[in-house]
Amino acid sequence: MKFSTTIIIFLSLIHLNVLAQQKADNFSILEKRPVDLVNVFLGSSADHGQMSPAASYPFSMLSIGPQTYPKTHTGYEYLAKKFEGFTHNRFEGVGCQGSGGNIFIKPFLGNDADQSVLIKSSEKASPGYYEVGFENKIKASFAVLGNAGKHVYQFPKGEKGVFLDLGYAFNGAFVAEEHTLVGNAISGWVESKTTCGAGKYRIYYYLELNGNANWQKLSDHKLVVKLDPNATSAEINIALSSVSAEAAKIAINKKTLQEIKSQSSTDWNTNLSKIAVTGDMESAKLFYSLLYRTMQSPYVISEADGQYRNTKGELQKDKEIRYNGWAIWDNYRTQLPLLSLIAQDRYAGMVSSIADLYNSGKKDYAGQNEPSNTVRSEHAIVVLVDAYRKGYPVDFSKIADSLVKEVNGLDYKSPDKALESSYDNWALSEIFKILNNQEKAVFYKNKALEYKKYWNKDFKDMGKRDVDQMQARGLYQGTIWQYRWFVPYDFKGLIELDGGEQSYLAKLDEFFAKDLYNHANEPDLQVPLMYNVTKAGYKSQYWMHQIAADTVIQNYFNDNSRGIGSFIGKIYKNQPQAYLRTMDDDAGAMSAWYVFTASGFSPACVGWPVYYLNVPLFPTVTYNLPKGKSFKIITENFSLKNKYIKSVTLNGKPFNKNYITQAEIYAGGVLKIASSATPVKISTTENWISSIEK
């Protein structure tokens, strides 16, 4: 009897140990904070995402981060040991060698900053916080809250100081600056070229050193402060503004580093908790590290009193928070639709800010008086239509003339431009429908339909030798194969052009069988979803899962190489060398693609509030919506081997559609997706298909 009792106790202990181990290997938002899972070093090495571990805050124009040698687009290389100093802004994940890098600061030992070498010995960071230790015993720590931040430096005793260069910017992009020096405080503005050097932006700042030491001028843009040889620490407070140095001064946060770090972490956690996943811990770490990347930009450019500057540099005032810092060509299909769901309190202001670009002389790239760093804004008109149909207010009547001017000036010189311009013509047609101007709606619909002649000319015959060559026939980025699918608003018409469903499917199958899809860039991002417009929707379910979580073969890269050292493996990895070679995150575009796929739904066509379904990458995913509502996706029979949808229910009732709408998500409820390892090849679902005749 005693032996039996011992066995039972032993088995019970084993059972409890197994349960504890399973619990430790799984994530629940009830037991752990999402912010604590974020790896800010993901994608920060070489050209595998162009991300930075800089201390940042959701949608803040201020990010305090390291400048290393060598560097990547954001000024930082994970593998680099030598640090040059620290800067206060960068545009995460964008091309053209990046941009930002203003207000350069370097702590140093001795009497000459140039002779003091900073070699990394330790490093750690989390959302809102960055810290690095150097071999010379200097330690630097930074925290950011809103558009304000704090530096804290620890020094050994002896000669030391802090060097400041106001004429510094990445890639020689500095243009001009003016500053005022009063004792330990410096304030003014800095002008630099925007991303890709297309325009200029001006940021205002206020910077103060705690203590009695005063800044001394070295040259026009360079200053230095010598610290007490016996001092072992120094603090700097800084804030940025698009409005004025006075506004930046008001924003200065004098709380302790720990207080700022703690509040920033709390606020990041609130934002990241908008989506709650449960499941494998390592998968959850990847998910939240990528979700974090979707909340870096656009930047808040308005002050607490509502003042902001528009893209003409004019001072304006509005009750709504205003934003700038756009990479719309890159992220209009992923990051912005995601924000329409998880940042509803902010998205109305973002939409108003995009619409306001048309009031201040919108350009595809940047203007000469931007209130923050920015990249590009092609397809902004599509974003506005999309937002309107998702319930966000857009006063199209106020900007109709500017929209017409933009669309009438679109370029059709290359095959890709012809298709992209047709998309904007379609959007303008839809806007005139909203404005009840039937004549103009028909006119621009017919202009959009001209895509067919361009498509027949360049994309119908796939037997030509150059169809798989990067930049053939004047393409900007991508191949003829990759761009032939770019008719998102009229897939019904595209199928007809391609010879019917069977011919269309054969071409899609060939595209994937030959590994012609390119996830290193945006031109063909929608193609894995394009089986959904046919009876073979299970193939979209396969490819969305494969690209997000399994082994793929990739032959195309952003440096226009093809078939040289093919990539074979997973694209999304939670490590510094995260993405494909030369794959940029592009202001959260690629991170948001993953977040959508992991959630089990992805935008079908920007301009329509519709999402195609796929099997999620977690047992449950919950979108926490305003007013206490939630939209929960439950995966039945969850396993990463189960890539296919067997059946779906919404709030307990059979859901016989391959898509869900924004309104259905907003309403809240429970979507159950029964998954299977084998595809449902004969589907009876109602399939959503875009059509210009809708």
Helix, strand, coil % in the chain, rounded to nearest 5:
35, 25, 40
Residue 378, Cβ density class (10 Å: 0-12 exposed, 13-18 middle, ≥19 buried): buried
User: Please, which residues have CB within 8 angstroms of residue 395's CB and are 6 or more apart in sequence?
Assistant: 355
User: Please, which residues have CB within 8 angstroms of residue 40's CB and are 6 or more apart in sequence?
Assistant: 51, 53, 125, 126, 127, 130, 289, 292
pLDDT number for residue 11: 46
Residue range(s) occupied by CATH 3.30.2080.10 in the chain = 275-676
pLDDT number for residue 671: 98
Are the C-beta atoms of 671 and 694 separated by less than 8 Å?
no
Kindly report the backbone phi and psi dihedral angles of residue 617, in degrees, each rounded to the nearest multiple of 5, phi listed first: -100, 10
Are the C-beta atoms of 545 and 643 separated by less than 8 Å?
yes
Residue 315, Cβ density class (10 Å: 0-12 exposed, 13-18 middle, ≥19 buried): exposed
Q: Which two tokens stand for residue 685?
A: 């679902």
CATH number of 39-273: 2.70.98.10
Are the C-beta atoms of 515 and 535 separated by less than 8 Å?
no
d(CA 531, CA 539): 6
DSSP string, 419-436: HHHHHHHHHHHHHHHHTT
Residue range(s) occupied by CATH 2.70.98.10 in the chain = 39-273
pLDDT number for residue 1: 43
pLDDT number for residue 2: 45
d(CA 293, CA 287): 10
Helix and strand numbers (H, E) in the chain are 18, 30
Question: Tell me, what amino acid is at 313?
Answer: G
Assigned CATH topology for domain 275-676: GH92 mannosidase fold (3.30.2080)
Instruction: Name the one residue in this structure whose structure tokens are 């998309």.
Output: 423
Q: What is the 3-state secondary structure (H, E, C) of 199-215?
A: CEEEEEEEEEECCCCCC
User: Please, which residues have CB within 8 angstroms of residue 583's CB and are 6 or more apart in sequence?
Assistant: 47, 48, 49, 519, 520, 521, 557, 558, 571, 590
* Residues forming beta bridges with residue 327, ordered by sequence position: 376
pLDDT number for residue 561: 66
Question: Tell me, what amino acid is at 460?
Answer: K
ω into residue 58 within 30 of 0, thus cis?
Answer: no
pLDDT number for residue 83: 98
Are the C-beta atoms of 75 and 67 separated by less than 8 Å?
yes
Of 532, 527, 525, 455, nearest to 497 (Cα)? 455
d(CA 162, CA 158): 13
d(CA 286, CA 579): 12
Residue spans of the chain under pLDDT 70? 1-24, 560-563, 694
SS3 of 657, please? strand
* Residues forming beta bridges with residue 64, ordered by sequence position: 55
Are the C-beta atoms of 88 and 62 separated by less than 8 Å?
yes
